[in-house]
């Protein structure tokens, strides 16, 4: 290239990442906190019927729930852009996960340490499909109920699965958790 030729500007590489976990753990909140665009959400009001099915004990102020997916994006640098897809947390919407996860480089499984059993399905999903993932304990009220070692043991995840604490409301905290997943995915590809 000569000094008179314009530099070729390439668009950033699109990378798909999934944010999963149980009902009310902070998936929609995390996508909203980090997305550089107004996130697309498929929130619906929690009806009396759904309230009878979904456990609102730890989320009594929750009035809506994701019924399909959340979507947002984040440009990491001029060469890389993350496209974030949040899954619905209830088992009854699990049939959509295969379509949402298709083509993803990795996943972030968000857990509420007050109810770790709500995220077993998400952990199992990524393990059985061989998709790299990290576990992010959402610090509700600024704290987590268990140590990282206790969470790892309870979820029965290997040392190769990062377990971190984050706050789904804080942009920098969500970014750091997503970068853990991105680094894990890049390490797996040998890049």
Please report the DSSP string for 111-151 in residue order: E-TT-GGGGHHHHHHHHHHT--EEEEEE-GGG--SS-HHHH
DSSP label of 90? S
Tens digits of residue pLDDT in 132-189: 999 999 998 788 888 999 999 999 999 999 999 999 999 999 999 999 999 999 888 7
Residue 34 lies in a domain: yes
Instruction: List the domain range (segments joined by +) for residue 72.
Output: 11-40+64-188
Tens digits of residue pLDDT in 1-60: 566 677 778 888 899 999 999 888 999 999 999 999 998 776 666 555 555 555 555 555
Residue 91 lies in a domain: yes
Interatomic CA distance for residues 122 and 136, integer angstroms:
12
Residue 4 lies in a domain: no
Count the domains in the chain. 1
Residue 49 lies in a domain: no
Residue 5 lies in a domain: no
User: How much is the pTM?
Assistant: 0.84
């Amino acid at each position: 290239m000569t000094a008179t030729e314009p530099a070729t500007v390439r668009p950033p590489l699109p990378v798909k990442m999934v944010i999963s976990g149980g009902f009310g753990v902070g998936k929609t909140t995390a996508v909203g906190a980090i997305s550089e665009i107004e996130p697309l959400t498929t929130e619906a009001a929690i009806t009396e019927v759904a309230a009878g099915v979904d456990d609102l004990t730890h989320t009594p102020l929750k009035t809506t729930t994701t019924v399909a997916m959340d979507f947002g994006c984040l440009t990491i640098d001029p060469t890389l852009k993350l496209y974030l897809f949040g899954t619905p947390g209830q088992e009854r919407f699990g049939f959509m996960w295969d379509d949402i996860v298709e083509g993803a480089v990795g996943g972030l499984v968000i857990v509420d340490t007050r109810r770790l059993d709500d995220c077993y399905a998400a952990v199992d999903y990524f393990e059985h499909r061989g998709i790299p993932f990290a576990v992010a304990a959402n610090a509700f009220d600024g704290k987590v109920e268990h140590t990282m070692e206790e969470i790892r043991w309870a979820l029965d995840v290997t040392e190769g699965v990062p377990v971190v604490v984050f706050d789904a409301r804080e942009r920098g905290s969500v970014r750091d958790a997503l970068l853990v997943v991105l680094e894990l995915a890049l390490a797996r590809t040998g890049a």
